[in-house]
Amino acid sequence: MLFRTTYARAAALRPLRATFSTTARAMGEGDTGAPPKMGGQGDAFQRRERASEDYAIREREKEKLLELKKKLAEQKQHLDRLSKHMFVQTPSPLRPLRQTLLVPSRAPLLTRSLQRRNHKGPGR
């Protein structure tokens, strides 16, 4: 029986001793940074802060735009190099062979050797 009461006390939910409280931050009328009643522009501090934020945003956008322009220029250069590479005639490895075929001093020898290969004799 003693065990039952001890167990019941231990199992009972005990309230937390420390309560955590949070308070909402409220700005009073006329405080620096407080929103105006009528929805106007606010005080000089708010205008200055808004102007500095706008300036920072414009500077970031300017940096991004410069980066994009740089990347675009690099891509254009790359495409120009590719287009030049596509239309440049590279020397053919067969060019020396073609030149020897067209040289008049060797042409009769070549024609005779081709005739021998293509000639079908009586045993062929």
Residue at 63 is within a domain? yes
* Domain that includes residue 69, residue range: 42-86
Residue 70 within a domain: yes
Specify if 1 maps to a domain: no
Residue at 71 is within a domain: yes
* Structural domain count of the chain: 1
- Inside any domain, residue 103: no
At residue 78, the pLDDT reads: 95
**CA 78 to centroid of chain Cα atoms:** 17
Mean confidence (pLDDT) of the chain: 72
| Alpha-carbon torsion (79, 84, 86, 91), positive or negative | negative
Domain for residue 26, yes or no? no
The per-residue pLDDT for 32 is: 62
pLDDT of the residue at 118: 60
Supply the pLDDT for residue 121.
Answer: 58
Q: Give a yes or no: residue 75 inside a domain.
A: yes
Share of the chain above pLDDT 70, in %: 37
Q: Quick check: is 58 in a domain?
A: yes
pTM above 0.85, yes or no: no
- Summarised one tens digit per residue, pLDDT across range 94-120 is 666 656 665 555 555 556 666 666 666
Mean pLDDT throughout 49-58? 96
